[in-house]
Chains A and B, each alone.
Chain A
């Protein structure tokens, strides 16, 4: 039998490291991160030391030069951290805010910001959504006006993960209001510049991540901080979205599988009318149905990963996977609450938290409706 290139002994060893890290460093502190409302920033450095933050990036910047199969392994394990907010905070850094810099950034910009991001010495955030423009990225208003060799930025971004933790932002701003999609650029903005501030937002779920509204008042950064070409921001962000959506699929399904396993454990221990919940046909049938949904979502996600590894265009498949995974996770969380009864409705219950956390998957990184709209066009409607 031919060896599976996506499941080599090295994949298994890396999975072991990622699983141990999750079990020893993340899961025991999951509720502490909820209390803090954010991840412990020092753990980014630990992850950087283990090589987890630059899996696909060029070794000359500290990356591992590997492919998406390793990203998949990492998030299949981190997804089991019992804290969707923490998973989101880490994945925003590795796969939502840094891919454009790694692919399109200048050498100077990569040396100054990508190298420390891969080492875990700097944390990044992606700043796209605005109060009046979310999934409709073309509606953004944050404006960058050129003044000599600087951009002067004014505007606001909202629902931004890592708002308080980030050292720099991958900001999408309008640089030419007359040019439509061609008038938008990605600009790297350090968060210690004058005129930048944030407010934290109070979310119904994902408590372990710091989500905020960002304000830019005459923020001045060099034009050399433009990631890629001026006016190519929209296209570059669309490429970056593919990684964002796929990492969301992988990690959310991993988290749902973990919830399924824990619910099974609960059902085996919970005795009702003289026998364990797991011995009742309703439980067994429901659990099998959920497992089937999860298996389908996982296989669809892995098909996306294989396409990404082979270099094929995976946009359509990732779009459908994002739609499907979000719905499966919501269904699993809903059914698992039911198995837990009153306890499932408690904030401390994993099922209860998953219920509110999973709701985000159908919204963040492009809503279900955005996925549906895109696919309707692709299918010729």
Chain B
């Protein structure tokens, strides 16, 4: 906090001499509170899921991670934490019907704040199976209790009953993506533009997205929008036996819900990376897909997914490459939906099999949705090296 009182004392002479000269610098403004401004309406970033990861960490273990608190600046990371009136869930479908058969549920409590602005919380992990796993509720068998790791402190790891370990706390955002470049690409595709152009075309990028001369790739700069920013991570390393068994294919997704008088209210849901970003066009569609369950994805999202795939296919054809047939587009939409992160437990294969933090998922998805015509957003690695040991995600900036 600046100290105007000190300034007044220290600058008194300067002020007397300088007031008239300084007046030309600009309007003098202090708040004129004849009305009281209310705080901004904001979504609670603590329940805003950024990404979900599931990857092989040994022949017999799989690590699951879910991140919230997107784009947290370093100064905000000190005070970043999880919402204590929220339920964080990682759902597992072991039968291929996009319905949860296992749920790992995480809640936070007992916030302790320190004078340096950092904090810790207790996290409790419950495991539910069967019909109970499908619901959004704070039930199940408690399998772990630990404390979140403090910003700048030692990583604290809790044991999971029946095997496994758990971590929660601030981490570098492992995601890497030129989101700014992509946003222009998407806007331009939706405006009917089809010329690919080249990345880093500053002149063309400067055009409005609906300009007839705007090209699709010109705004990609190779700049990782998420570099230098942090998230809050929940990481569970679990025996495959607890997730359906080694060699078994399962679907993983995460949800967040907040406590209300009428029960738990879903806030966010995510499986594969960027599905909502890429395939839903309006805010309403994005909200809807957050609220429904994966089993409903084809009924709620498939039309827009097919529309976007068709638009991209037209671009590919326009560029002289081979587009997808309607049957292929239908098949891809059915692969991407329901939106669960499919992984064969124990398999070393990368994305689309599960998702390792280092997987360049955007490149893979670009290639998939354009039949190989687009293969990169120009950002090919995270800005921080991943750890070789649990919790694997890099320390926060």
A pairs with B: no
Give the interface of A toward B (CB within 8 A).
Answer: none
